[in-house]
Chain A
């Protein structure tokens, strides 16, 4: 595992969470228990953080916020609780307030990837796509330092890029960067294929299919997709061959799983396509 500053930062969060919810006890019981502990230790800031998280889970937004603010009042070093406050505001759909909190926090802690990620998601909710796109970029840069960047972040960043009208080429460039960073992760490649098709670049999409792992590339799903791309790019002879090949594979498959809704649909669409293509003049 990455022995990193991120782990150190995370351990702070975990320290704050120690002893937090036994989630299988009704929340109100846990809240009551924590309230009793607060009564006995009214200056323990961490207890307020714990109860604040319980209130958040219970969607008692204002009570959660009150406890988090109280915790910061008691211990000003608990600055990370500001991110907790922002999360409550985000979940409560008070996005503008959440952004303000995160702006303030990130001015002081500009290396916190999780705060950037939360602000990016909040900006998306506010339809401030350019701002979201910038924050996703910063979050990814920082997560990369800790080798903690994930496909999810790239996919969300792509959505932000497209929403901010930076266009498919920029999104594809980002996905290619992600494919480099994440060792050719198939979910990024398949998203890129979708965008190549949207951009009407079938050859590029076909090249990306070839780059998929062999077991995925040879799956009925992607053999079917390949045939469809060939058809849509008017390579009718190749498309017919691809559809026929797929149907033949399905007929003589050596696997013992029965037909599934997915494979039945592929079979039906292949047969329809062949009927369509072989009937139409070429």
Chain B
């Protein structure tokens, strides 16, 4: 744990750790934050900066009018890092920061956070992702920011997201590096991060990766400099995963998602290096439904950086592709988020592509569709042997400025040219919806990844409480969809599953026979009883069940076929 971290765990509700040394009466001013770090289901770190040294105090509680709990740290400092422990999962807390003699913030909803849900829970999660967002501190930056307003683009992207997500908490957000231009100094961080994202920093935990511009004022080898002084990131698996021993690369869990942060800038990337060894151990140890990795240098890009140039950025793009991607593929990582190129580029569902773009083959493209439910259909994983194969790669480095490029990497299904924006990930259970929201509030790209819940456990190993017909997936679909149902405990039941068109005409009978208690599934390939493809449209599917000495029960659902 960092020495900067002043830790007091709150062991009992209402406990008060009073400072031994009362703060001096001199007025102390808040000049940075507060901001939130390393949130878990039972703890969080509240950080802020004052213009003079003072002791530290956080008051908090689940009611804005009653901040009954207090953590105080007596050490005088201007850099305040206070860890609060003993929190309840998925619970909103309101807080103020200050010293033992005064409060720097007011008790209102601006200063509140929601703790992480329990690890493994399937609660809905919203994630905001920004990359290369740090132009506000660099008047020399490029389009579309005029020298007089270098933060214009970042502000537009920020405000578009704030408007989009006004009615929904942001559970966590990711910064993909180059958070403050041009050199990642503390002063630049103030302008480009703390002033720019003040409101979000106060209520949602941000997790960052290290960019090349951050490296001009910090070093991973020593974990020193502005970036490492500002962020409090896990080194000992404080938020899940396996301990990396360094803030340069780390992992954490949130709900049913495992996040992996790598350092593509400043840590050795060779096979056998500490980072890659850690990566494999960390991936082997996670049982989370989703794995999302993020780092700065993209393995595939034809934006302002060309991943086909083997020497681009001292070979960092190539090395991440050649050395890291095989490990990620081996463990079925679902998404990779990068920045660096000032553009938005997003891939097909791909697997096994480690060389230049010229070597991409059809076999490496697991799903060559656009991943849109109303387009080519969602990407589906876990549907059979090797089912976790396939990863979506996104370059999301235009959260403040854009640059030119050829944007013709064949692995990419979508590229937004000269468009500012950020990504939004909504994960709910086994469904992940991703959007690229531009600076005008338009969703310029979207896709969905679905995972088959039928693979959750052995289908006959769990008892079904009652007779259920579950929603088919994907839906809408093309060319096929999966229909799941469960049979209650007791003797085997006679089941009949029939597809009807909207006029009530029978299309095909998929199931007609006896089934044992438990969960089952069946595929429909969009064909009628004669094996002929049916047309686009809405279809009904009805499951009838007849158990001994009972009447027939029926359940009906609707689905849509898109040709």
What residues make up the interface of A, taking CB atoms closer than 8 Å to B? 1-4, 6-7, 10-11, 13-14, 17-25, 57, 59, 114, 117, 143, 146-148, 150-152, 155, 182-187, 190-191, 213, 215-216, 219-222, 251-262, 264
Contacts and interface: CB of A to CB of B under 8 A. Distances in A.
A263 B229 CA distance: 39
B277 interface: yes
A150 B289 contact: no
B213 interface: yes
Contacts of A254: 287, 456-457
B289 A259 contact: no
Interface stretch (B103-111, B241-249, B354-362): B241-249
A25 B331 CA distance: 36
Nearest to B258: A257
Given A2-B3, A23-B213, A257-B287, A187 B331 contact: no
Nearest to B304: A24
Contact of A6 (B222, B237, B381): B222
A146 B225 CA distance: 13
Contact of A260 (B3, B185, B386, B456): B386
25 contacts: A2-B2, A2-B3, A7-B225, A17-B217, A18-B185, A18-B216, A21-B182, A23-B213, A24-B142, A148-B223, A151-B277, A183-B245, A185-B243, A213-B243, A215-B242, A221-B281, A256-B289, A256-B457, A258-B381, A258-B455, A259-B387, A261-B331, A261-B389, A262-B330, A264-B385
Contacts of A3: 3
A19 B245 CA distance: 31
A92 to B, nearest CB: 13
Interface residues of B, number: 76
A61 to B, nearest CB: 13
Given A114-B221, A150-B274, A151-B277, 15 more contacts: A2-B2, A14-B216, A17-B216, A21-B182, A24-B304, A147-B3, A150-B245, A191-B277, A216-B285, A219-B284, A253-B457, A258-B451, A259-B386, A259-B387, A260-B386
Interface of B: 2-4, 138, 140-142, 181-183, 185, 212-213, 216-219, 221-225, 228-229, 236-237, 242-246, 267-268, 272-275, 277-278, 280-281, 283-289, 304, 311, 313-314, 329-332, 342, 381-389, 403, 430, 451-453, 455-458, 461
B23 to A, nearest CB: 21
Contact of B219 (A10, A185, A213): A10
A57 B385 CA distance: 45
Q: Which of B278, B451, B461 has the most CB of A within 10 A?
A: B278
A119 to B, nearest CB: 14
A151 B456 contact: no
B228 A152 contact: no
Nearest to A2: B3
Interface centre among A10, A23, A147 (most CB of B within 10 A): A23
A17 B457 CA distance: 55
A256 B430 contact: yes
A219 B285 contact: yes
Where chain A touches its partner, the secondary structure class is loop
Residue picked from B242, B283, B382, B455, most chain A C-beta under 10 Å:
B242
Name B's interface SS: loop
Contact of A19 (B142, B182, B223, B268): B182
Given A22-B138, A23-B213, A261-B389, A148 B221 contact: yes
Nearest to A222: B284
Contacts of B185: 14, 18
Contacts of B245: 150-151, 182-183, 185, 187
B383 A256 contact: no
Contacts of B217: 14, 17
Contact of A148 (B181, B182, B224, B451): B224
A261 B329 contact: yes
Of the listed residues B141, B216, B224, B272, the one surrounded by the most CB atoms of chain A closer than 10 A to its CB is B224
A216 B242 contact: yes
B451 A17 contact: no
Nearest to A184: B243
A261 B284 contact: no
Q: Which 7 A-B pairs have the closest CB atoms?
A: A258-B382, A258-B387, A221-B284, A260-B332, A152-B274, A151-B274, A256-B456
Contacts of A7: 224-225
Contacts of B313: 23
Nearest to A3: B3
Contacts of B330: 260-262
A150 B268 CA distance: 12
Contact of B229 (A1, A151, A191, A213): A1
A225 to B, nearest CB: 10
A155 B275 CA distance: 11
B3 A183 contact: no
A7 B382 CA distance: 48
A22 B456 CA distance: 48
B216 A21 contact: yes
A186 to B, nearest CB: 5
A59 B309 CA distance: 14
A114 B458 CA distance: 54
Contact of A22 (B140, B385, B386, B461): B140
A152 B246 CA distance: 10
Contacts of B138: 22
B451 A1 contact: no
Contacts of A2: 2-3, 223-224
Contact of B242 (A4, A20, A183, A186): A186
Contact of A256 (B281, B314, B455): B455
B451 A256 contact: yes
Contacts of B280: 221
A200 B244 CA distance: 28
Contacts of B225: 7, 10-11, 14
Nearest to B245: A185
Nearest to B241: A215
Contact of A59 (B221, B224, B311): B311
Contacts of B272: 155
A141 B453 CA distance: 52
Nearest to A251: B458
Contacts of B289: 255-257
A57 B311 CA distance: 10
Contacts of B332: 257-258, 260-262
Nearest to B226: A14
A215 B213 CA distance: 35
Nearest to A253: B457
Contacts of A23: 212-213, 313
B182 A260 contact: no
A150 B242 CA distance: 15
A25 B281 CA distance: 37
B274 A257 contact: no
A251 B460 CA distance: 11
A185 B244 CA distance: 7
Nearest to B461: A252
B450 to A, nearest CB: 12
Contact of B237 (A10, A213, A261): A213
A87 B385 CA distance: 48
Nearest to B81: A1
